[in-house]
Amino acid sequence: MPRQRGYERFGLVKNPFQDITGEQLEEVGLLHVNQPIDEVLQSIRDDVLDRRRKAAVALVGAMGTGKTQRLMVAKSEFEEAGGVAVYHQMTHEARWIVGGVAEATREAVDLGAIQRFVSSPKWYRDLLSLEKQVRKKYDPERVGRVLAEALNANAPAALLLNDLQNMEGQKEVDLFMQTLHAVMNHIRPGVLVMLSSYPRFFQQVSRRHGAVLERLDRRLPVKGLSENEAALMIAKRFLANRLVDDLDPLYPFTQEAIRVMARASRDNPRRLLKLANRVLEAAIGTKAYHVDDEMVKTTLADMGSEAEVRGSPRRAANGKAGSGGGRAPGQGTGKPPARRPAGSPGAGGSPKRGPPAQGTPPRKPPARTST
pLDDT digits (tens, 9 = 90+) for 268-284: 999 999 999 999 999 99
Residue 22 belongs to some domain of the structure:
no
CA distance 267 to 278: 17
Residue 77 belongs to some domain of the structure:
yes
Among candidate residues 206, 221, 236, the one where a domain is terminated: 221
Comparing 17-26, 211-220, 286-295, 329-338, which segment has the lowest mean pLDDT? 329-338
pLDDT band (50, 70, 90) for residue 116: low
pLDDT over 60 (residue 175) = yes
Among candidate residues 205, 221, 237, the one where a domain is terminated: 221
Residue 8 belongs to some domain of the structure:
no
Residue 359 belongs to some domain of the structure:
yes
pLDDT band (50, 70, 90) for residue 99: confident
pLDDT at 71: 95
Sign of CA dihedral 354, 276, 38, 66: negative
Do 155 and 230 belong together in one domain? Answer: no
Do 206 and 254 belong together in one domain? Answer: no
pTM here is 0.74
pLDDT at 341: 45
Q: Running DSSP on this structure, what letter comes out for residue 201?
A: H
Measured CA distances, 175 to 102, 117, 199 (Å): 15, 32, 21
In this structure, how many other beta carbons lie within 10 angstroms of the beta carbon of residue 6? 15
Do 161 and 61 belong together in one domain? Answer: yes
Structural domains counted in the chain: 2
Q: Which residues of 149-178 are buried (b: 16+ CB within 10 A; e: fewer)?
A: bbbbbbbbbbbbbbbbbbbeebebbebbbb
Measured CA distances, 7 to 19, 177, 220, 257, 289 (Å): 16, 48, 39, 18, 11
pLDDT at 118: 60
Counting beta carbons within 10 angstroms of the beta carbon of residue 70, is it exposed (0 to 12), middle (13 to 18) or buried (19 or more)?
Answer: buried
Residue 337 belongs to some domain of the structure:
yes
Among candidate residues 201, 221, 241, the one where a domain is terminated: 221
Full domain range(s) for residue 328? 225-371
pLDDT over 70 (residue 206) = yes
pLDDT over 50 (residue 329) = no
Comparing 84-98, 136-150, 333-347, which segment has the lowest mean pLDDT? 333-347
pLDDT at 221: 96
β-partners of residue 90 are none
Do 357 and 285 belong together in one domain? Answer: yes
What is the CATH number for 367? 1.10.8.60
What is the CATH number for 197? 3.40.50.300
pLDDT greater at residue 134 or residue 364 = 134
Q: Whole-angstrom distance between the N-terminal and C-terminal Cα of the chain?
A: 29
Residue 10 belongs to some domain of the structure:
no
pLDDT over 90 (residue 346) = no
Residue 71 belongs to some domain of the structure:
yes
pLDDT band (50, 70, 90) for residue 94: low
